Amino acid sequence: MRSGPTGHRGVRRGNLALVLGEIAEGSRSRADLAAITGLTRPAVSSLVDELTAARLVTESGPAEPSGRAGRPGTALALDPQGPAGLGAEIGLDHLGACVVDLCGGVRARRRVGIRNRGRHPEGVLADLAELLRQVASGEPPRPAGLTVAVPGPVGAAEGVLERSPGLGWPPRVPVAAALRVALRETGATELAALPITVENDANLGALAELRLADRPTDLCHLLAGPGLGAAFLVDGRLLRGARGFAGEIAHLPVRPDGPACPCGARGCLEQYAGETAVLGAAGLGGRGGRGRADWIEALAQRAAAGDTAVRGALATAGAALGIAAAGVVDLVDPGAVVLGGGYGELGEWVVPAMREEMARRITTRPWQDDWLAASPLGRHGPLLGAALHVTATVIADPGLLTDDDV
């Protein structure tokens, strides 16, 4: 828990992060940085030189007049040609890859519909490696790391997907190690050499909400679609739980005497808001695979056309999500709950019932409508979050990339 003594190298590494963090908040001159951080001008200049050499920072033109004496300095900003973030996503029904530059600009993105359920991990990861090779093969910026969004919890063992009943994979698939092999086999040796992080998809979607949708730093992100997951940000940091299983919401007891769930319990959230339940209630359950490649879109079209069964199914799902979310608010007290994933795109029909249950059941303080919102990122949150996770890691600790032995 305690860190080691704070020596010179730790101080410099911390100060690199301090300065880069300020620049990431908005363009700053060296004089601004000295004033904000309390560091001396020479110290700031030395740190900026190091950040510039690592292509993390670039001079973006004359600074805004600061009101201070002397000529205005040069504005410093994050370098969009600097180290980028490479994100990947393994979904139940898709694969995705994207490159985000240091300023958050999306440089390349692909999402491929493919039914991964029941497929062997090796085949899925080979396809993902190929997709990553294509997406990352373009112009610079070059990625500084790769983060992979997976539909299940990642525990203490780094890079390992603990379980994913949705994919039907065996327990503890070493996604990072296996993907590294697959990248090597597809000829993407440069990518195979990157640091690879594996992270739960709902968690990464929450990071995307924080960075792209201006959410509060205490946030609950419900990722609902094929698979149900939740993520909690506490003061901007992910809440992982003792074993990495925080946010495993699919089997939260919603109605304890409700329908039997394949998990062995009764009345789990999945029995009301899961894909099978919703498609069944919507009258689309018996069609097997047909139309299922994009059943979210199919539901949206029918709901928009006034299909009462579909609308009812989505309202039922929303009510169950609302009961679960009321429990979330009672227990964790997030600043807001965001509905992301496919259901975020169905928000028009899911959110009202969800809000009604939450407003009725959260009685410890007056309900405020902005406590619940559908995500504007929809199904794209986790993939964007994966790429942003890489750039955020670089910005939080640029010493990882600078030349000094910090």
Choosing from 240, 302, 311, 355, the residue that interacts with a second copy (CB under 8 A) is: 240
Q: Which is nearer to a second copy, 38 or 67 (CB)?
A: 38
Residue 331 touches a second copy, criterion: CB under 8 A: yes
Residue 312 touches a second copy, criterion: CB under 8 A: no
Choosing from 115, 117, 163, 184, the residue that interacts with a second copy (CB under 8 A) is: 163
Residue 4 touches a second copy, criterion: CB under 8 A: yes
Q: Which is nearer to a second copy, 39 or 103 (CB)?
A: 39
Per rule CB under 8 A, count of chain residues that contact a second copy? 66
Q: Are 93 and 113 in contact (CB under 8 A)?
A: yes
Residue 156 touches a second copy, criterion: CB under 8 A: no
Q: Which stretch binds a second copy (CB under 8 A): 112-120, 307-315, 339-347, 363-371?
A: 363-371
Length of the chain: 406
Choosing from 67, 242, 370, 405, the residue that interacts with a second copy (CB under 8 A) is: 242
User: How many angstroms separate the Cα of 151 from the Cα of each of 99, 235, 267, 274?
Assistant: 20, 24, 22, 14
Residue 221 touches a second copy, criterion: CB under 8 A: no
The DSSP result for 252-309, as a single string, is -BSSTTS-B-TTSSBSBTHHHHSHHHHHHHTT-GGGTTTTGGGHHHHHHHHHHTT-HH
In the complex, the smallest distance separating the C-beta of residue 226 from a second copy, rounded to whole angstroms, is: 18
In the complex, the smallest distance separating the C-beta of residue 328 from a second copy, rounded to whole angstroms, is: 6
User: Which sign does the torsion angle of CA 163, 165, 171, 172 carry?
Assistant: negative
Q: Which is nearer to a second copy, 133 or 240 (CB)?
A: 240
Indicate the pairing of strand 196-200 with strand 237-238.
unpaired
Residue 328 touches a second copy, criterion: CB under 8 A: yes
User: What tokens were used for 128?
Assistant: 């993902």
Phi-psi group of 346: left, alpha or beta (phi > 0 → left; psi -120 to 50 → alpha; rest → beta)? alpha
Helices (H), 333-346: 342-345
Residue 283 touches a second copy, criterion: CB under 8 A: no
Q: Which residue has the tokens 């559908």?
A: 374
Residue 218 touches a second copy, criterion: CB under 8 A: yes
Q: Which residue has the tokens 């370098």?
A: 79
User: In DSSP terms, which residues pair with 387 in a beta bridge?
Assistant: none
Which of 338, 328, 336 shows the shortest CA–CA distance to 362? 328
Strands, E assignment, 126-201: 143-150, 196-200
Q: Which stretch binds a second copy (CB under 8 A): 4-12, 65-73, 108-116, 347-355?
A: 4-12
Intra-chain end-to-end CA distance of the chain, in Å: 21
User: What tokens were used for 395?
Assistant: 């910005």
User: What tokens were used for 311?
Assistant: 């609308």
In the complex, the smallest distance separating the C-beta of residue 39 from a second copy, rounded to whole angstroms, is: 5
φ, ψ of residue 74 in degrees (nearest 5) = -95, 135
Residue 38 touches a second copy, criterion: CB under 8 A: yes
Residue 244 touches a second copy, criterion: CB under 8 A: yes
Q: Which stretch binds a second copy (CB under 8 A): 5-13, 60-68, 98-106, 297-305?
A: 5-13
Residue 366 touches a second copy, criterion: CB under 8 A: no
Residue 18 touches a second copy, criterion: CB under 8 A: yes
User: What tokens were used for 249?
Assistant: 């919401």
Residue 253 touches a second copy, criterion: CB under 8 A: yes
Within 10 angstroms of residue 189's Cβ, the number of other Cβ atoms is 9
Query: Which residue ranges make up the site for a second copy (CB under 8 A)?
Result: 1-2, 4-7, 10-11, 14-15, 17-18, 21, 37-39, 153, 163, 216-218, 230, 232, 234-236, 239-249, 251-257, 261, 263-265, 268, 323, 326-328, 330-335, 357, 360-365
